[in-house]
C-alpha cells in the first residue's frame, strides 16, 4: 500500500460536498505519523465578529485564517508529521498559504465531483453556517475553471473514498506544486557557477576518499545492479566509477552539472531535478548513493527525503549517504572563490540522523566521521558523517 511521506503536506480542497473531510481522514491513515488540519475549525474559532467566508467583506478575515492554518501546518510538518489539510484552499489563497510553509513539499488536490453531486451532498450534510444553496453554488463555481491548476483536479463523482485516496497517492508526483524554495534555487545557481572550480578544488585526496567508500558497495552489489546517484554533479569521479559496473541514473539540481555529466559519462542516464521533489517507482534500485547532497536540502525536508529513498530501494538494498556531523544552517557568498556563487547548507547532528534512519527502516552497516577539503561555509574544512545502511526487508 502506497504511503504518505513524513514531513509532506497534502492539501485536500474543493467545493462543499466534494468529500474532502472523509478523504482527508483516510489519506492521513496512510502515514506512520499524520495530522489532519481541519480548515473549518479555524473559521469556527472566531467567536466574535465572524464574517461568513463568502461575504464580500470577509477578505481580511479569510487571509488571517489561511495564514493561521499555514502556520499550524508548518509546525506539524517540521516535526516530521505527514500533514493533510482539509478545507477550502482555492488557488487564490495559495500565495498566502504557501508563504508560511517554508520549503515543505506540498501536494495540491482538488476534489471536484460534478455540480449536481456536490450540491446534493452539501445540502444534505447541512453544516450549521452552510445550508443555503446559493453560497454552495458560488463556491463550486470558484473551482469550476482552474486554469493551470486543472491538472490537480480529481473527479470524485463516481469514486468511493478508498479509490479517491488511491488516485491521490498514485498521482502524487503530478499533484505536487512546482517547488520554488529559495535555498534550493541558490544551490542550483551556485553549482552552475562553480561546476569546474568544484572539480578542481576537490583534490586527489577527496576523490580517493569518495571512491574508497564505493568499494563497500562493490562488496555487496551484483554487476548491472540498478544504482541511483543523487547529487551526481558533473559525473566524476563517482558516477563514472559506478557506471563501469552498474546501470546508473544520476540526478542533480544544477543544469550545468547535468549537461557536463551527460558528456563525461555517456553510459549513464541523467535527470536534472530537485532532490526534495524528484520521484521514482518503489523498489527501483539495489543501491542509492547520495554523497554530499542531502546536506544542501533544508533540514525540515530531510526526514521526508530519506523516507522516499527508503521507498525507492528494494528490500536489502543499500544506501551510501553523507549527512551532518553537527547542526548547521546557512550560506556562504563567493563560495570556492567564485564571484557571485552562493552555496547553502542545512543539516542536523549525527545522533538525529541515526535515529531517523533506524525509524524509517534502515540497518546501519558502517559509519564514520569524515573530513574533506571543501569549505562548508564556515571557513574551515567540513566535517560530516558517512553512512552505509541497508533497507530492512518489509
Same domain, 18 and 150: yes
- What residues does 285 pair with on adjacent strands? 313
Domain boundary among 156, 175, 194: 175
Task: For residue 98, tell me if it sits in a domain.
Answer: yes
CA 228 to chain centre: 17
Same domain, 255 and 332: yes
**Number of domains the chain contains:** 2
Residue 318's φ and ψ, nearest 5 degrees, are -110, 150
Task: For residue 66, tell me if it sits in a domain.
Answer: yes
Same domain, 131 and 218: no
Dist CA 2 CA 288 (whole Å): 20
Domain boundary among 125, 144, 175: 175
Task: For residue 4, tell me if it sits in a domain.
Answer: no
Dist CA 178 CA 201 (whole Å): 33
Same domain, 193 and 141: no
Dist CA 73 CA 81 (whole Å): 9
Same domain, 386 and 278: yes
Q: Are 176 and 274 in contact (CB under 8 A)?
A: no
Whether pTM > 0.95 for this model: the answer is: no
Task: For residue 296, tell me if it sits in a domain.
Answer: yes
Domain CATH for 218: 3.40.50.150
**For residue 381, what are the domain limits?**
182-391
| Cis-peptide into 237, omega within 30 deg | yes
Same domain, 369 and 301: yes
Question: What integer pLDDT is reported at residue 1 of this predicted model?
Answer: 46
Dist CA 291 CA 272 (whole Å): 17
Question: What integer pLDDT is reported at residue 300 of this predicted model?
Answer: 65
Same domain, 132 and 196: no
Same domain, 126 and 192: no
Same domain, 13 and 90: yes
Question: DSSP letter string over 288-350?
Answer: EEE-S-GGGS-HHHHHHHHHHHHHHEEEEEEEEEEEESS-EEEEESSGGG-TT--EEEEE--H
Question: What integer pLDDT is reported at residue 46 of this predicted model?
Answer: 96
Angle at 298 between CA 297 and CA 300, to 5 degrees: 130
The separation between the first and the last C-alpha atoms of the chain, rounded to the nearest angstrom, is: 12
Q: Which helix (H) or strand (E) holds 83?
A: strand 82-86
Domain boundary among 113, 143, 175: 175
Same domain, 287 and 359: yes
Same domain, 186 and 146: no
Q: Are 388 and 289 in contact (CB under 8 A)?
A: no
Dist CA 377 CA 372 (whole Å): 13
**pLDDT per residue rounded down to tens, the chain (394 residues):** 467 888 889 999 998 888 999 999 999 999 989 999 999 999 999 999 999 887 778 878 988 999 999 999 999 998 989 999 999 898 777 877 887 888 788 999 999 999 888 888 877 765 555 567 777 887 888 787 776 678 899 998 889 999 999 999 988 878 888 544 467 788 999 999 999 998 887 766 677 888 899 999 999 999 999 999 999 999 999 999 999 999 999 999 999 999 999 999 999 999 999 888 788 999 999 999 999 999 998 776 788 789 889 999 999 999 999 999 988 877 788 888 898 888 888 888 899 899 889 988 999 999 999 986 564 444 445 789 999 999 998 7
- What residues does 84 pair with on adjacent strands? 10, 36
Task: For residue 322, tell me if it sits in a domain.
Answer: yes
The b-or-e profile of 90-113 (16+ CB within 10 A means b, else e) is bbebbebbbebbbbbbbbbbbbbb
Domain CATH for 157: 3.40.50.300
Amino acid at each position: 500500500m502506497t504511503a504518505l511521506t513524513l514531513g509532506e503536506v497534502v492539501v485536500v480542497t474543493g467545493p462543499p460536498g466534494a468529500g474532502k473531510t472523509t478523504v482527508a481522514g483516510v489519506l492521513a491513515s496512510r502515514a506512520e505519523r499524520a495530522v489532519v488540519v481541519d480548515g473549518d475549525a479555524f473559521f469556527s474559532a472566531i467567536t466574535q465578529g465572524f464574517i461568513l467566508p463568502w461575504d464580500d467583506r470577509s477578505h481580511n478575515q479569510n487571509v488571517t485564517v489561511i495564514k493561521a492554518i499555514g502556520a499550524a501546518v508548518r509546525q506539524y510538518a517540521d516535526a516530521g508529521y505527514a500533514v493533510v489539510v482539509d478545507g477550502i484552499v482555492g488557488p487564490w489563497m495559495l500565495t498566502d498559504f504557501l508563504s508560511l510553509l517554508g520549503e515543505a513539499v506540498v501536494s495540491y488536490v482538488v476534489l471536484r465531483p460534478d455540480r449536481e453531486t456536490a450540491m446534493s451532498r452539501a445540502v444534505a450534510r447541512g453544516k450549521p453556517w452552510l445550508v443555503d444553496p446559493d453560497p454552495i453554488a458560488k463556491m463550486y463555481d470558484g473551482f469550476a475553471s482552474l486554469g493551470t491548476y486543472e491538472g490537480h483536479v480529481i473527479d470524485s463523482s463516481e469514486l468511493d473514498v478508498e479509490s479517491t485516496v488511491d488516485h491521490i497517492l498514485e498521482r502524487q508526483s503530478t499533484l505536487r506544486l512546482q517547488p520554488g524554495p529559495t535555498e534550493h534555487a541558490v544551490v542550483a545557481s551556485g553549482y552552475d557557477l562553480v561546476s569546474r572550480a568544484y572539480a578542481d578544488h576537490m583534490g586527489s585526496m577527496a576523490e580517493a576518499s569518495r571512491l574508497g567508500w564505493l568499494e563497500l558497495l562493490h562488496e555487496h552489489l551484483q554487476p548491472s545492479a540498478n544504482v541511483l546517484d543523487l547529487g551526481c554533479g558533473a559525473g566524476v569521479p563517482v558516477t563514472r566509477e559506478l557506471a563501469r559496473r552498474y546501470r546508473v541514473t544520476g540526478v542533480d539540481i544544477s543544469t550545468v552539472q547535468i549537461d557536463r555529466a551527460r558528456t563525461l559519462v555517456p553510459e549513464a542516464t541523467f535527470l536534472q531535478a530537485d532532490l526534495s521533489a524528484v520521484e521514482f517507482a518503489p523498489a527501483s534500485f539495489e543501491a542509492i548513493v547520495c554523497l554530499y547532497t542531502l546536506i544542501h536540502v533544508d533540514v525540515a525536508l530531510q526526514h521526508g527525503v530519506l523516507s522516499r529513498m527508503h521507498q525507492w530501494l528494494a528490500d536489502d538494498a543499500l544506501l551510501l549517504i553523507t549527512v551532518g556531523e553537527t547542526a548547521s544552517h546557512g550560506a556562504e557568498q563567493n563560495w570556492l572563490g567564485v564571484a557571485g556563487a552562493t552555496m547553502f547548507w542545512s543539516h542536523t547532528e549525527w545522533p538525529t540522523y541515526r535515529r531517523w534512519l533506524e525509524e524509517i527502516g534502515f540497518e546501519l552497516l558502517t559509519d564514520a566521521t569524515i573530513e574533506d577539503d571543501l569549505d562548508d561555509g564556515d571557513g574551515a574544512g567540513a566535517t560530516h558523517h558517512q553512512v552505509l545502511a541497508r533497507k530492512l526487508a518489509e
